[in-house]
Amino acid sequence: MTGSGSVPTVGVVVIGRNEGERLERSLRSALSVSPRVIYADSASTDGSPAVAERLGVAVVRLPPDGQLNAARGRNAGYAELKLRFPECNAVQFLDGDCIVQPGWIAKASAFLADHPDVAVVCGRRFEAHPEASIYNALCDQEWNTPIGEANECGGDALVRAEAFEEVGGYCSSLRAGEEPEMTARMRSKGWKIWRVDAPMTEHDAKILTFRQWWRRTQRGGYGYAQAWRVTNGLPQRLYGRNLRSAMLWALLVPLLVLAAAVATKAPLLLLVLPVLFSLQIVRIAPKSRHADKIKWAGAVMLMVAKFPEAIGALRYFLGGNDGGIPEYKSNA
């Protein structure tokens, strides 16, 4: 680890699949902060590569081979960025449904220059329309992580090229959870991850239905399981607590209550389940980081989420990388 005391030269890698109008907004924001922009497309069918080319952005096309994921797109985009712009020693990764905020690159670049032991710096990702649905509002709070040294980052982050190359980039086999897995490897090498107090990107989740939320949460459970398995050899294995919680509340507790009801021939015992879930909601709501107006809704959704998380984890454990992972996004 050598780092650098000078402000890095920044390139931008944008990834996307069928992002529609969101992609053009994302690419224009990337071009406003750097002329060095690459778009990695995951077999879009909505003309996304043509949109990027019309804006003068180089495109990397991933084949529709059933192995598409964000990690693979970011790695491919990074390789193309370094090929075309070898002077880049930092890269802003950007999801195609996000818009870089003015001033972010300057602040984040200065932070990397002043902190040579920091591999990744991220800021506040916020939802464009948190008022559109409870699911968008929960996403907005999900992005609002604590300021200071962190264990992980999200999909949008400024990454030091030296650290990225030292650990070999993202794990391309991961369908989800690729960011915390990579940053765990970075931390094992002595690098630090940092969240600074600055607006970074505007995100447009467009999660407007329960079905979309359910499928997204399944992806989360799938990602927990994948990251837990591949970080077995690291000092801190990821997501063990999340998996235990999902399996406890979605499988073990319901099965124990059901078994007790059958064994005692007392079906009224099944009422213990909603009581236990209600008590847990009452316990966690006051401690929630959610804004006051959605604290209780957030606590309810947190408990409901145990079920799709468990389903997603089981899909991975039973099927491995071929277990399938659902899409939840809609175009536009």
* pLDDT per residue as tens digits for the range 165-218: 999 999 998 888 899 999 999 999 999 999 999 999 999 888 999 999 999 999
Q: 63-77, 83-97, 219-233, 314-328: which has the minimum mean pLDDT?
A: 314-328
Residues paired with 11 in a beta bridge? 91
State the pLDDT at residue 161. 97
Residue 262 has pLDDT above 90, yes or no: yes
Structural domains in the chain plus CATH codes: 10-207 (3.90.550.10), 209-332 (no CATH)
Close Cβ partners of 275 (under 8 Å, ≥ 6 residues apart): none
- In DSSP notation, 153-189 reads --SSEEEEHHHHHHHTSS-TT-SS-HHHHHHHHHHHT
What are 19-56's pLDDT values in tens digits? 888 999 999 999 999 999 999 999 899 999 999 999 99
Mean of the pLDDT values across residues 296-324? 88
State the pLDDT at residue 187. 94
Helix (H) or strand (E) holding 160: strand 157-160
The amino acid at residue 245 is: S
What is the number of other CB atoms lying within 10 angstroms of the CB of residue 233?
A: 8
Closest CA to 201 of 4, 12, 52, 38: 12
* Cα(223)–Cα(220) distance, integer angstroms: 5
